[in-house]
Chain A
Amino acid sequence: MSKLPPYFSLPERIWHYTFWAICFLVLFFLIFPLFVIIPLSFNAVPYFTFTKEMLAFDPEGYSLAWYQEFFNSLNWQGAVKNSFIIAFFATIISTFLGTVAALGLSREHMPYRTLIMSLLISPMIVPLIISAAGMYFFYSRIGLQGTHLGVILAHAALGTPFVVITVTATLSGFDNDLIRASQSLGASPTTTFFKVIVPLITPGVISGALFAFVTSFDEVVVVLFVGSYKQRTIPWQMFSGIREQISPTILSAATLLILITIALLTTIELLRRRTEKIRGVTPS
């Protein structure tokens, strides 16, 4: 938190603290529901309730049963595997196609830019249930329903808009003189691409790819329609048994995912700081 300048008046001070209080409330609102999950995932009974034993911190009220089920069940193992496979390939497709398209869209002489841009980001605009239904009809017709390829293509389509948008946004501030400068200094188009353009768009590409990855990883509506057991992802597995049982196993799966996410995001942040230190750039 930044130090208050000494010239701040009392109302300014009050406002300043109120503002921070509001922000922390919002952060709390964002994060609290996730931390509720963690104790519930150790529940001894298969319900999402804080039992009396749990509240009294009686060891009887807690158990690792749901974690055992998660690690021992073939269904969950397959789901974890599939989630990564599908999200990985979908991300590759959307990142590659999306980046190339964004480079094209950002060129000076792109014809029908707005129309094409609208078509390319339409999967983000069309309500999911509609996309899911349409894909389900068409993919069944051409034999893609119930295949890994079908789910990967569907997820790639859903993830691409994020890549297109983030990369185009990075390029919107791009100074085309840089390309001309590089070329007038004798660089080949390839050299210009790798030495000038790539470093500049990389942050946008990575952030778009992360969005695409999450979109696929957490997507449930389309995978329920287009996928089948063999393509079960983690969200698919969470939903498929819901008629008979909402098993707390989904909570243990979620807890593990939360921990992995925290670890991943922290590692990336630490690595980023290290890189910056090596490069001698201090964070602003």
Chain B
Amino acid sequence: MIKTPEKIELFTADGVPLKLSLARVQRRSKMVAFLMVSPLLLFMVFAFLVPIADMLLLSVDNSIVERILPKTVKSIKYWDPHDDKLPDEAVFAAMVEDIKKAKKAREHTKIGTRLNYESSGFASLFRKAGRKVKKINEPPYKKALIKSDKRWGDIQTWRVIKQFSSGYTGGYYLAAFDLKRDFADGSVSSLPEEDSIYLKLFLRTILLSTTITFLTLIIGFPLSYMLAKVPTRISNILIIFVLLPFWTSLLVRTTSWIALLQQEGVINDFLILVGIINEDGRLAMIHNATGTVVAMTHILLPFMILPLFSVMKTIPKSYVRAAISLGAHPWIAFWKIYFPNTAPGIGAGSILVFILAIGYYITPALVGGSSGTFISNRIAYHMSSSLNWGLGSAIGVILLLFVVLLFLLYDKIVGINNMKLG
């Protein structure tokens, strides 16, 4: 048998084992690194990540029903919605009491608005009930409530209330996928074709954003290449052309494209002047998908050029020269040597443009007509116009998940540590 040699332990000058000392140094170094990052991390958590989490909560939150109709929610538990019978007197009594209380707090219409998202008519049902309940002071509540509005006698009304009586709901997500749940048996089915919209818009958003990303790459690549090739003296001047639109308000650039693209706009007038089209053949380039693509390609182009340029600047010229001097055709040298080196720039630019594109809603709203609007337009609509914040958040979360997936993919392929902006 061979005898294993004794392990040789190394010691530092002050007698601490070297291994231990190294570990200690490394731990301290880790600590310092983490301490340096932590202020920003804390700031981000507070200013950005918690708000996003807040929105996540909002997309499943349904506590309003239990808060405003506490007694009804409790008593309706014992009612079976599959039965073709109305809930019994106790539920009606609880409802009357809840509405009375809600009316006092001026909250009875909030519950109406909430349930109206699920089934039309609840808004007026509760507003009317708020006016009528003060006259209902003694049993039978069932009869009195139904007398005040016959919809209270409709079993469907109660099924909706029962289904949305729990504190959390997946209802907004169903709606965001164009699905709906049957109020009686709880089965999920897709909406009829004429009512489904979100999937269509998701697809369109992805399709148009891909087009825009591709266009910015095709247009941005040669210019970035040129900027990287010319002396700094010149590229510093030319880069102003890229930065200028970047600094100019989005609304202004959109407006300018309206003036350019519309039927009696600059481009159509020019085409008529040079005789390419005639007066009746004016092109419709705006208020459709074309308008969105053209205007957004322009708006997002700097986000492609800047990262591309910054990566290209660092590629040593000697690489391609070496390849050519070794006998490669300039095209081959470009394609085999130069182009692969630009990958981090292409990656950073594409992901940036794509992600910015799917989140844009102002430009599509102004130049997109009906065929050029994005899913973000619906989010904005629910946030500021219909005020269906739950549905808006649910659509937002789905969009967010999609973006995160994309980002992970990007990290796999390119690595986020290689991202450069210029």
Contacts and interface: CB of A to CB of B under 8 A. Distances in A.
A and B touch in the complex (CB under 8 A): yes
Contacts of B223: 23, 26-27
Given A104-B32, A130-B55, A133-B392, A217 B247 contact: yes
Given A101-B37, A130-B400, A284 B44 contact: no
A284 B26 CA distance: 41
Interface centre among A107, A120, A123, A125 (most CB of B within 10 A): A125
Nearest to A103: B36
B321 to A, nearest CB: 12
Contacts of B404: 125
A191 interface: no
B34 A104 contact: yes
Contacts of B253: 33-34
A111 B32 CA distance: 11
Contacts of B258: 48
B226 A23 contact: yes
A146 interface: no
Interface string A1-45: 110000000001000000110110011011101101100100000
A133 B384 CA distance: 9
Contacts of B414: none
Nearest to B310: A169
A135 B49 CA distance: 9
- Secondary structure at chain B's binding surface: helix, strand, loop or mixed? helix
A193 B30 CA distance: 18
Nearest to B383: A133
A71 interface: no
B121 interface: no
Given A130-B396, A160-B40, A272-B236, A107 B252 contact: no
A26 B222 contact: yes
B401 to A, nearest CB: 11
A97 B232 contact: no
A133 B55 contact: yes
Interface residues of A, number: 101
Interface residues of B, number: 96
A156 B47 contact: yes
Contact of B44 (A50, A157, A162): A157
A239 B226 CA distance: 37
Contacts of A246: 255
Interface in A100-144: 100-101, 103-105, 107-111, 113-114, 116-139, 141
Contacts of B420: 165-166, 169
B417 A117 contact: yes
A49 B232 contact: no
Given A97-B39, A110-B33, A220-B251, A141 B259 contact: no
A120 B44 contact: yes
Given A114-B417, A130-B396, A133-B392, A238 B40 contact: no
A55 B226 CA distance: 36
B260 interface: yes
Interface in B381-422: 383-384, 389, 392-393, 396, 399-400, 403-404, 407, 411, 416-422
Given A36-B259, A50-B259, 4 more contacts: A104-B34, A133-B389, A157-B43, A214-B247
5 contacts: A29-B301, A127-B358, A130-B359, A133-B389, A154-B47
Interface of B: 26, 29-30, 32-37, 39-41, 43-44, 47-55, 58, 219-220, 222-223, 226, 229-233, 236-238, 240-253, 255-260, 264, 266, 269, 298, 301-302, 310, 330, 351-352, 355-356, 358-362, 376, 379-380, 383-384, 389, 392-393, 396, 399-400, 403-404, 407, 411, 416-422
